[in-house]
Amino acid sequence: MEINGRTKLYGIIGNPVEHTLSPLIHGTFADMLGIDMVYVPFQVAQGELEAAVRGAYGLNICGMNVTVPYKNAVIPFLEEVDARAQAVGSVNTLVRGREGYVGHNTDMSGLRRAMEEDGISLRDEQVIVLGAGGVGRAVAFMCADSGAQKVYLVNRSAEKAECVAQEVNRALQRCGKDCVTAMPLAEYQKLLTGPKNRYIALQCTSVGLAPNVDDVVLEDGDFYHYVKFGYDLIYTPWQTRFMQCVQDNGGVAYNGLKMLLYQGIDAFELWTGCKVSRRNADRVYQKLQERLL
């Protein structure tokens, strides 16, 4: 493509960003739809986040994604934060506003769209969220906000899980919900009662991420008898140990690649106002698979 004075610039900020797949996603959609734009990874050193955000706005960068470790830290430097992003305390997409960037969270809408495409609804379901970090907090909010009957937030630190559960429940009070319950990881067996194969489980920690591919948050095979659908938000390796445990015990397992795709689609649509068709989404998903496998 020819880059000229009319070419719009987008990007992603984080540390590290060398292995991001976001340029593949956004560059391919731009080519498909004939949009004159480029998408560039920007590695931002610790302590330079505010300068990076202000500088990007001053350089007329039209929009950016935000990845670890800045999804929460970026919030004070924004003109405005979307209500849902404010509620989950995490921003991954910046849209250019009048005097600064407006923060959105497309991670959660992307996960919801990925699950819907796989034919899975959260409404009236019982959900186990493994991990109470920033991702676990956002996922717990998304599950409750999507109509889950009960969300169990399971974490090694009971104190952290309780704190996050209270925060999520407070954020949900506007819609009259209070369905997130904290549980220390050591007490997970309390969940193993009643009919088996009844939970949707979402693995929201970095455990099992390459190169530590043999690690898993829970080893106990009995736990996985109770999981009908398992989502690991990791996608490297393609088949995580968590996913294998779910499958070995009769459940259906998915990795996080579709979430990555759909969070990118939601960001792309926010930036450009263009809709991405299912056909184009499938074509980019295939490209992502080819890159990873």
Catalytic residue IDs: 71
| 259 sits in which H/E element | helix 257-272
Report the C-alpha gap between 164 and 240 in whole angstroms: 26
Tokens of 259: 């979430």
Cis bond before residue 23 (omega within 30° of 0)? no
CB 89 within 8 A of CB 137: yes
In angstroms, the CA 270 to CA 84 distance is 15
Dist. CA 100–CA 190, nearest whole Å: 47
The pair of three-digit structure tokens given for residue 274, joined into one six-digit string: 């263009």
Phi, psi of 265 (to 5 degrees): -65, -45
User: CB–CB of 71/50 below 8 Å?
Assistant: no
- Side chain identity at 131, as an amino acid letter? G
Do 209 and 236 meet the contact criterion of CB atoms below 8 Å apart?
Answer: yes
Question: b/e for 53-83, b at 16 or more Cβ within 10 A?
Answer: beebbeeebebbbbbeebbbebbebbebbbe
Residue closest to 272 by CA, chosen among 26, 85, 58, 90: 26
Q: Are 80 and 103 in contact (CB under 8 A)?
A: yes
Structure token digits, residue 130: 């493994």
Q: Decide if 88 contacts 81 (C-beta within 8 A).
A: no
